[in-house]
Amino acid sequence: MGESIDVVKLDVHGVEKIRYTATPLMLDFRWGYALVEAHFALDRADVELFALEHGDRMIEHFWSSRHFNVFEIYAPDGSLRGFYCNITRPATIDSVSIAADDLALDLVVDTAGNTVRLDVGEFRSLSIGDDERRRAIAAIEELELMARLRIGPFFRLKRAYREAKR
């Protein structure tokens, strides 16, 4: 596995919006899954339930068969801040890059499992077909269910919630 991989966020038309370098932790081409580590490069971003700070560690999950990606956000002290999930077209994953077309709709999950949908109006205004719109809505509903059940990447919510209660 290489020492770095490019992560590329494309808009709904396939135009590159953001590109950054990440460290691959797992690339499974057979199952169409990538797990990478990156660090938040902006100064600060408020995302409703928490804020991302410069230097926050992000563990990012991408799938070539799912209409979303999931970012686990950790503070510099190692504590879980929460999750940021992008609704996308399935990712294209290879040994040098991961790319996904963003469909505007996002989900934020805090350490207690609370969820907030972001950019709903922007999503509604996208010029996409009815099938793709249904897949995007199904994807965000799947993420909300996974967070509620604390499964998939959200299994860490149980531990984070207990630690926050101490």
Predicted TM-score (pTM) of this structure: 0.93
- Token pair, residue 93, equals 């994953």
Per-residue pLDDT of the chain (166 residues; tens, 9 = 90+): 569 999 999 999 999 999 999 999 999 999 999 999 999 998 999 999 999 999 999 999 999 999 999 999 999 999 999 999 999 999 999 999 999 999 999 999 999 999 999 999 999 999 999 999 999 999 999 999 999 999 999 998 866 555 555 5
CATH of the domain at 85: 2.40.380.10
Total tally of structural domains belonging to the chain: 1
Q: Which domain holds residue 58?
A: 5-165
Q: Name the residue with tokens 């991989």.
A: 5
- Token pair, residue 55, equals 């230097």
Three-class DSSP labels, 11-74:
CCCCCEEEEEEEEEEEEECCCCEEEEEEECCCCEEECCCCEEECCCEEEEEEECCCCEEEEEEE
